[in-house]
Structure 1
Amino acid sequence: MKYAFVFAMAAVLIVFLALRLGGVTWLLLWPGVSFILVALAYAGLGEHAFGKRVDGRMQPWAVILLLPYLLLTWGAWHLVRWLSRERAFDEVVPGVFIGRRLLAGELPDGIVTVLDLTSEFVEPEGIRRAGRYVSLPILDASILPVARVTPVLRELAVGSGALYIHCAQGHGRTGMIAAALLIARGDALDASTALSMVQRARPAVRLSATQSRALAELATALLAVRPGAGAALPLSWRDADASCRGLREEWCRSQDSLLSHLVHCIRTPFCSKPAPECQVQALRRVVDAEPSEVTRAELAAIHSGCSRGRVANHAVLCAPACPSR
């Protein structure tokens, strides 16, 4: 609401001056209307007020109404780009890049997917056509409902190829969503660890109090096993190991061949490569075949982690108890 108040006060002042002075100052009504619309966006109308389309462009009506605000925002962005010594982008983990909005030709080599979090910018055509483009517009310093964000992150977490995430400067919105993605991928097991990983790569990342709470909610949602699995992912691999000890002997007896197949498919814990199909299929068969509720929950947790392309340490810890191959 702070942003809503600031823009509303600015709009009231501008409109007052236009009506008070008259004449050519009537032109100030345009920026006044622009600021009123921005205030309404932050007051509850949301990112829809900016008319951002799924293809990265903005609706013509939004550009016309918001043009005074947009010119101010775009000008400030270019000024920061020229003066800032911060790198345009940074790599958080292999295959996940974060940074500011890029111009055509600035995109890192090998990027397959671009996740655009801005609502106030038109994505350059060269960026949109460089690969797969995903638009998830969020107001600056703001958030989206968890239910809207988690499906996007889960889809991106299982995707192949390098990913670039950006907002305007690559700090607030980017930091929040990138940290949540690390959790969805299995690179981090809680919000604090995920955010620390993002900040190590890009130290200027800072979240508002609202964004920090949203990240915690996203972490909770993303760590939950999908409907039907019957359990949540373990909060730490220490907890997973404790559960695993009691299951090793049973796994080795009843799932010997499948576990062997799984272990042979595993390369490196938390590797950045997509999970091999044999690994995913083996895990699915194990989950479907296991009769014990507790065991099924643990196996579902492993399946959820491995199918995202991150090998669960839980499975690696269990493997040594099985007969050597």
Structure 2
Amino acid sequence: MRYGLTFLALSAALAALAVLAGGAALVLLWPAMSFGLVGAAYLARRPALLGKRPDGTQAAWALVLLGPYFLLTWATWRAERALGRADCANEVVPGLWVGRRPLGDELPAGVRLVVDMTAEFPAAAAVRRHPGYLCVPTLDGTGPEVERLRELIERLRGVDGVYLHCASGRGRSATLAIALLLERGLAADVDEVEAQLRQRRPGIQLNAAQRELLRRARARPGA
């Protein structure tokens, strides 16, 4: 909700500025539309509105309509990559890595399955070509729907050599990693697993919505 309202407020401010200033300022209607669509995607919880395809590419229509938003997220990611001190990925338990969006040469040796949880970035070409590439578009600050999360847990059960990533490797990918480790019985609750993961990858921090998702995923269907 907070992400959606923030983008809608930014959209409204840019649209108002464009209309009031007129002339060349009308170009601001493009980012206004872009941020408005992103806000709607968040409020509706529909990552598909960002145009991420199952093969990890971004649809052409999304690149046009959401261009300003994609430029903003790309610049933010590049700046964090250049200035941040975090590793690209960390092996949180043997055979399970949590990390940021990787380039092709950044996948650790031994990775058999790459789970891409970004909705706002296309996967690097070399990553898309990985035989174990799996695209699970997820909006920043959220997680997959409960049933989709359960399906992922089942699919990843017993798989060794898994790289889970979102944009920065702190929220979405950590949510899935915690769900997997809880399923394996390696800890009693979310707080314990999160603390364990943070020792391996400092900066991991789940929000309230992601914690609630994990609670619902662990509950019996219909409970």
- Normalised by the length of structure 1, the TM-score is 0.65
Structure of greater relative contact order (alpha carbons < 8 Å, 6+ residues apart): 2
What is the CA distance between 1:96 and its match in structure 2? Answer: 0.2
AA of the residue aligned to 1:199: R
What is the CA distance between 1:158 and its match in structure 2? Answer: 2.8
Cα distance in structure 1, aligned partners of 2:212 and 2:198: 17
What is the CA distance between 1:39 and its match in structure 2? Answer: 0.7
| 1:301-320 → structure 2 map (5 Å cutoff) | none
Cα distance in structure 1, aligned partners of 2:38 and 2:57: 18
Cα distance in structure 2, aligned partners of 1:220 and 1:188: 16
What is the CA distance between 1:182 and its match in structure 2? Answer: 1.2
Alignment match, 2:10: 10
Cα distance in structure 2, aligned partners of 1:114 and 1:149: 16
Alignment match, 1:151: 151
What is the CA distance between 1:212 and its match in structure 2? Answer: 1.3
Cα distance in structure 2, aligned partners of 1:10 and 1:130: 37
Contact 1:179 1:191 in 2 (8 A): yes
Give the RMSD, CA atoms, in angstroms: 1.7
Identity of aligned residues (%): 38
Change (3 A) 1:42 1:110: same
Deviations 1:223-281 (A, max 9, x none): x9xxxxxxxxxxxxxxxxxxxxxxxxxxxxxxxxxxxxxxxxxxxxxxxxxxxxxxxxx
Alignment match, 2:117: 117
* Pair member with larger Rg: 1
Alignment match, 2:206: 207
What is the CA distance between 1:120 and its match in structure 2? Answer: 0.3
Q: Which 5+ residue runs of structure 1 have no aligned equivalent? A: 225-325
Contact 1:150 1:221 in 2 (8 A): no
Cα distance in structure 2, aligned partners of 1:72 and 1:184: 36
What is the CA distance between 1:45 and its match in structure 2? Answer: 4.7
SS at match of 2:137: strand
Alignment match, 1:67: 67
Cα distance in structure 1, aligned partners of 2:218 and 2:200: 20
Alignment match, 1:51: 51
2:154 corresponds to 1:167: no
| 1:103-252 → structure 2 map (5 Å cutoff) | 103-159=103-159, 161-220=160-219
SS at match of 1:114: strand
What is the CA distance between 1:23 and its match in structure 2? Answer: 1.4
Q: Which 5+ residue runs of structure 2 have no aligned equivalent? A: none
AA of the residue aligned to 1:57: T
Identify which range, 142-151 or 182-191, moves more after superposition. Answer: 182-191
AA of the residue aligned to 1:198: L
Contact 1:191 1:219 in 2 (8 A): no
Deviations 1:118-167 (A, max 9, x none): 100000011122331111111111123211111112111133x3000010
Alignment match, 2:89: 89
Cα distance in structure 1, aligned partners of 2:155 and 2:57: 22
- Normalised by the length of structure 2, the TM-score is 0.94
Cα distance in structure 1, aligned partners of 2:219 and 2:190: 9
Alignment match, 1:27: 27
| 1:240-279 → structure 2 map (5 Å cutoff) | none
What is the CA distance between 1:215 and its match in structure 2? Answer: 1.7
What is the CA distance between 1:189 and its match in structure 2? Answer: 4.3
Identify which range, 149-158 or 66-75, moves more after superposition. Answer: 149-158
AA of the residue aligned to 2:99: G
Cα distance in structure 2, aligned partners of 1:219 and 1:82: 38
